[in-house]
Structures are given as C-alpha cells and as structure tokens.
A and B are shown apart, each in its own frame.
Chain A
Amino acid sequence: MDLLNALVALANFVLIPALAYGSQLALGALGVTLIYAILRFSNFAHGDTMAIGTMVTIFVTWGLQALGIGLGPLPTALLAIPFGILGAAALLLLTDRMVYRFYRAQKAKPVILVIVSMGVMFVYNGITRFIIGPDDQSFADGERFLISARDFKAWSGLDEGLALKSTQAITVVVAVLVVALLFWFLNHTRTGKSMRAYSDNEELALLSGINPETVVRVTWVIVAALAVVAGTLYGLDKSYKPFTYFQLLLPIFASAIVGGIGSPVGAIAGGFVIAFSEVLFTYAWKKVLGYLLPASLAPDGLVQLMGTDYKFAVSFVILIIVLLFRPTGLFRGKSI
C-alpha cells in the first residue's frame, strides 16, 4: 500500500508535470533546431516568437469566447491556434524578408545573425508588451481536471490523490500529434526531403535544383506553427506572461543543444531530459520517502536538492556537462 502511495505521489508531482513540461520544451526546441539546421544560426528571438504567436491565439480565444463559440470540455484556445499560427507565420516571413534575407545573401557569419536576432527579439518583445502588456493573462477554459485528486482517492482507496489536469493531457496528446506530423512531413514529402537535403549539404541541394528561398520560407512557417503550439500549450498549462516566455529561451536552448542542435529527434529527447532533471532536482522528496522508508528513518526536512527558483541552474549544469563531454549532443546534431 505504501509503495502504491509513493508511486502515486511520484506520478502526481513528478512524472505528469515533467511529461507536460517536457513536451512543451520539446516543441520549443524543435523550432530552434529547425532554424539552426536550415538557416544556420541560434535564434534568440524564439522565446518572443512564442510570446507573440500565443498573444494572437489569446486574442482570438477571447473573441471566440465572447461569441460563445467553444469546444465544450476542451479549451477554446485549441480552436484559436490556427489563427495564432497564421499571425506568427506572417510575422516571421515578413521579418525574414525585411531582415534576415539581406544577411543570407551576404553569407554573413552565423554570429552576426545571432546579433541580428537579438534586435528582432527586442522588436518582438516591444510589440508584445505594447499590445497585450507585460502582465499575466488567463485564457484557459473548459474542464479543469480529467481526473481530480478527490475522485481518484475515492476510486482507489489510497491516501494519495492523483490529479491529471486536462491541459496536461492535451499538451501531451497535441505534442505527439504535432511531432508525428512534422516527422511525416520531413521524411515523406518532397518539400520535407528538400529541407533535409538543404540542411545536409547546401551546395549539393542547390545543384539538384532545390530553391533555397522556398526551403527557408517553409521552414519559417513550420517554426511559426511549432512556436505557437508550444506557447499556447505552455500558457494553458501554466500561465501567459511575456517575460516568462523570454526566460524559456534558456531551457529551450539547453534542450536543443543537449539533444544535438539541428537534430529533431535530439530536440525531443533533450526537452524531456531537461524537464525531468529540473523537476527531479527541485522536487521535495519528503512525501515519497515518507512512504518508502520505515517510520524511524522518515526524513525531517523537505529533502529538496535545490529550491524551485534554481531550476535554471539545473538546465544550465546539464547543458555545460553535455557541451564539455559530448559537444555534438546526445544525437550527434548539425543536420536534419
């Protein structure tokens, strides 16, 4: 019984939240890694792309809510995501046309593009704050819980409750669908194959008649879709605040690099590695250990390795370890 209680507590406080957070990070890291594979620079504006796309989603959600259109138990935001993607894609394509294309034509060094993306980051950040403001916004609706802790206790007779928020379930399901779609696209369509070819060997791809500008445009649209889905899911699961999205940049980059930047599989693996380590290191193990150990050994303190505020430190340390010992990441990145 105690073992079951411990397992339930572990699932409730560690496994489920980390799984949801990992899916969000994986989607974010996929965007970063695609830009790196095709455009060959680290995009510092990615967090703010997520913020701006999610902002569009939120506005459309509010509009739909006002019109009384909804999905019943599911959050209305799911209906609004396509509009958010359209908005973000338009913005990214416009940015590419006005900003990045010039440097591509010049064959500028990657580090110059990183600095350029810092400028874009400022602009996006300013736009987001200008339109929606820097404060928390809530846009989640529908059923809050798929399984509530009380129902679970009544059903199982255990002391520990297991709560599954509907946003957590939706996050995982949507992430799986999006990733499946992305991999199908990359492996089975002509455009997807040309993207992989371009990423692998630019000159050879050009020689075989692939139009680089098309590849770049398709990449931006996919990145927009990934960023908006990731941003909306994160906003539904936790809350929407522009500055938080900017701060997500660090765990997202850590995920992409840990997995091997440029490798989509790596981005997903990296997302989960980072998410699980953050949660494992900042979780207070008192409860789980209390069930597992005999009463005489039960811990007095929280048995927390680090405060939750240090979760950045966890992703950072993992990032450094991977960079030092396996600089290409877990999945030997660099091309898709």
Chain B
Amino acid sequence: MRALGLFALVAALILGTGVLQSWNSALIILNMGLVSAIMSLGVNLQWGLAGLFNVGVMGFVALGGLAVVLTSVAPVPAAWAAGGGRAIAALILGAAVITLAALAWRGLAHRRRGLAVAAILLVGLVAFRWVLDPATAAIESVDPAATGYLGGLGLPVLLAWPVGGLLAAGVAWMIGKTALGLRSDYLAIATLGIAEIIIAVLKNEDWLARGVKNVIGLPRPLPYEIDLQQTPGFAERAAGMGLDVTTASTLYVKVGYSLLFAAVLVAVLVLAQLALKSPWGRMMRAIRDNEEAAEAMGKDVTARHLQVFILGSVLCGIAGAMMTTLDGQLTPSSYQPLRYTFLIWVMVIVGGSGNNLGAVLGGFLIWFLWVQVEPMGQWLMGLLTAGMADDSAIRNHLLDSVQHMRLLTMGVILLLVLRFAPRGLLPEK
C-alpha cells in the first residue's frame, strides 16, 4: 500500500515535469531513472541482501560503457593491421604472468614464494610493457584525430548490454577473489581503489577506447530523429496527434528507450524478487545477519559472497552499458565517484536497503531530485537575493554556485533518512 502510494508520488513528479516543463525533460528523467533503478538494484543485492560494502559502482558502470564501444563500433582495419595482433599478444602475456604468479603462490614453499611472486610480477610487468608499448604507439598513430584505436566488433549495440555485464562480472570475480573476506570497511576502500583504476585505464589507454578523446556517435538501437522526420507518413501521424514533427521525432526516440529500459528493469526486478524469496535469498540473509551461525550450518560464506558480489556488479555493468547507449558517446572524464558511486548509495539507503522495490523507488526519486534540485535552487536563490542589487558580487556568486546545491541536498537527505528512517522509505519486510 505504502509502496503503491510512493510510486504514485514519483509518477506524479515525473508527469508534473512533463506538464510544467516539457515532455522531453520528463522522458530524460524517466530514462535515467530506469537506468539508476537497475544500478540501485545491483547495489541493493550486494548491500541489502548480503551486507557487502561496495563503493566501486562507478568502475562497473564505466566497464559497461567500455563494452558498448568494444561491441558495437565498427573495427578500424588500419589500426588492427598496425598493432592489433601485438596488442592482443601483450594482453595474453599479461594474463599469463598473473596466472603464473598465482600458480607460483600456490605451488612454492611458504618461505620463498613472496620473493618469487614479486620477481615474476616485476619481470612480467616489464615484458608486458615491452610487448604492448610499440603496439599502442602504432595503433594510436593511425589517424589520431578520428580513430587512433582498435574500434569494436561492429555487432548490434543491444548485444553490448549483456557484454557489459560480462566485463563487470570478470572484474568483480578478480576483486572478489582477493578482497572479499576482508573487513567491511577494508572492502570499501579496495573497491574505491578499483573504480579509480578502471577510470584511469579508460582515460589513458587511447588504443582501447580513445581515452579522453572520447568515442562519439555510437550506434543506436533506435532510428535517428532526422531519419524519422523524413520517413513518409511520420509527419502526418505527428500532425494527427497535434505535435510538430521535430518534437514528435524526439519523443518517439525517447519513448523507445523508455520501453527498452523498462523491459530490462522489469526482468531484473522479477528475477531479484524471485531470488529474494527463494531458499538462496533466505540463505543470503542468514549469512548477512550472522556469518558465524551460517558458517556453522555448513554454508560456504566466502563462495556465496563472491556469487552475490558478481551478480550485483553485473547489474551495474548492464546499467552502465545502457546509459552509454542512451548518451551515444563514451566520455571517461565524466565518471565522477560522487555521481556514479555515492549517489547510487543514497538511492539504496533512501529507498530502503534489503527491499528491491525500495531500491527501484530510491533510484527514481533520488534521480528526480538530483536533476530538479538545480532549477529549484535557482528559483530559491533568485527569491533570496531579489532584494540585492543586480551587480552585487554576493548575489552573482550565489547564483553561480547554485549548481553545487545538489551535493549538499543529497548529503542532507542521506543524513536525515539515516537518522529518522534508518530502514528507508520502503523497509525490508
């Protein structure tokens, strides 16, 4: 009942945006709200269901973005010819070095293995760079203004969504293998670090996805507005609905994305609900509430943690791929931890950790506020400073700083919820 009321409120807020501002802005909020809800479900799976403290959400979201480039962009044959084979060889060599180090760690006697593994890794790093560096230089010099990277596989962009999940799963497996089992706040620091490293790789490895030069014009699963406008019959149908043809085409594309995203969200939500209610979900909650007792009952705590950590990260990866598809470009410098990690946490905590519907609600509600706090703040500041002279330095500074209000607002919301409704808007049953 409460859930119904709160979801109706969010719907009313988004519809209100449509009526008061424009339907395009309402759909933009709705689409990112759908993506945020999936990310928030992922974090809820890890934190709400299993009590794992992952603050590396940004990294998995960015991996999803990378997946879109690697899957959907057409390959660059000249770059492949210049250094593709060597780059692949370097990556295989890197993987081999790490495997060798892991094997040495398991196989060697206790006393000498530390030095041996360190030596393998150091020599491996030098060899890896020796193979990789000429390849990257060659690839990056292929028409650097337009390409300068290997490109992708040229597959349909929708395939990139599961691929994003797979990439995230791979990295989550590696992190989980090393860092799970650490104390909760150590895991937090470790995931924070991984996210920064993933972003650093995206920014610096130009041969992979052009780094800070960005990849723009990614393929879309939906037609371009301009093509729609020239489709015979589209203009007539738009006129029939009382819309001009430009607005109609933008709305058409955005509604298309909404439907695609909603389908993914519904599927994920249904699976998450089934998982929550299944014996597996009960076991996860038992582990969360009392690890020792669950372990004594014969549950493999570490393996279950690894499993749920990977599942949650996969959702973040899929959502990240969806987001990059929606944006149509990959811009590594736009990944900021406050926006892509900590904001998702606000969504989960405000919505109600442990409750999937709560996570979805938090995703929509917090995203709506994140977008709308700025115009609201602008209006408020305008009101507060109305009495000041137009050229007053204070007034101008206040008006310029309004954009930073959203961070402040999110912090205050998080603190208020933690204090007065620590279980969130929709508490776990």
Contacts and interface: CB of A to CB of B under 8 A. Distances in A.
Interface stretch (B21-29, B67-75, B178-186, B303-311): B178-186
A247 interface: yes
A254 B414 contact: no
A130 B186 CA distance: 31
Interface in B186-203: 186, 188-190, 192-194, 196-197, 200, 203
A247 to B, nearest CB: 7
A319 B342 contact: no
Interface string B118-143: 00000001100100010000000000
Contacts of A116: 415, 418
Contact of A110 (B185, B418, B419): B185
Interface stretch (A4-12, A56-64, A215-223, A304-312): A304-312
Interface of B: 51, 53, 114, 125-126, 129, 133, 178-179, 182-186, 188-190, 192-194, 196-197, 200, 203-204, 337-338, 342, 345-346, 349, 400-401, 404-412, 414-415, 418-419, 422
A124 B418 CA distance: 17
Given A123-B412, A130-B405, A316-B197, A249 B185 contact: no
B53 A102 contact: no
Contact of B407 (A129, A250, A309, A310): A129
Nearest to A36: B185
A257 interface: yes
A254 B184 CA distance: 15
A153 B204 CA distance: 36
Contacts of B419: 99, 102
A253 B189 contact: yes
B200 A319 contact: no
B415 A120 contact: yes
A58 to B, nearest CB: 15
Given A102-B419, A323-B186, A250 B414 contact: no
A123 B415 contact: yes
A122 B185 contact: no
Nearest to A302: B133
21 contacts: A41-B185, A112-B422, A114-B188, A116-B415, A118-B342, A118-B345, A121-B342, A122-B408, A125-B411, A126-B405, A126-B407, A133-B400, A250-B192, A254-B189, A257-B189, A301-B133, A310-B197, A312-B193, A315-B193, A319-B193, A320-B179
A139 to B, nearest CB: 18
A111 B184 contact: yes
Contacts of A316: 190, 193-194, 196-197
B185 A305 contact: no
A204 interface: no
A111 B415 contact: no
Contacts of A102: 419
A2 B411 CA distance: 57
A208 B184 CA distance: 32
Contact of A119 (B126, B179, B411): B411
Given A119-B411, A123-B412, A316-B196, 5 more contacts: A112-B422, A123-B415, A130-B408, A247-B196, A316-B194
Given A118-B345, A121-B342, A312 B196 contact: yes
B112 to A, nearest CB: 14
Interface size class of A (residues with CB under 8 A): 35 or more
B288 to A, nearest CB: 11
Contact of B411 (A126, A247, A250): A126
Nearest to B130: A301
A266 to B, nearest CB: 15
A115 interface: yes
Interface of A: 41-42, 44, 99, 102, 110-112, 114-116, 118-127, 129-131, 133-134, 246-247, 249-250, 253-254, 257, 301, 305, 307, 309-310, 312-313, 315-316, 319-320, 323-325, 327
B55 to A, nearest CB: 8
Nearest to B400: A133
B414 A118 contact: yes
Contacts of A111: 51, 53, 184-185
Contacts of B200: 309-310, 312-313
A59 B397 CA distance: 15
Contact of A250 (B51, B193, B400, B409): B193
B193 A125 contact: no
A250 B346 CA distance: 21
A158 B422 CA distance: 66
Given A119-B415, A123-B408, A309 B189 contact: no
Given A257-B189, A305-B125, A122 B194 contact: no
A2 to B, nearest CB: 24
B182 A130 contact: no
Contacts of B337: 246
A118 to B, nearest CB: 6
A3 B346 CA distance: 56
Contact of B338 (A120, A125, A313): A125
B196 to A, nearest CB: 5
A332 to B, nearest CB: 15
B401 A250 contact: no
A3 to B, nearest CB: 24
A323 B182 contact: yes
A125 B406 CA distance: 10
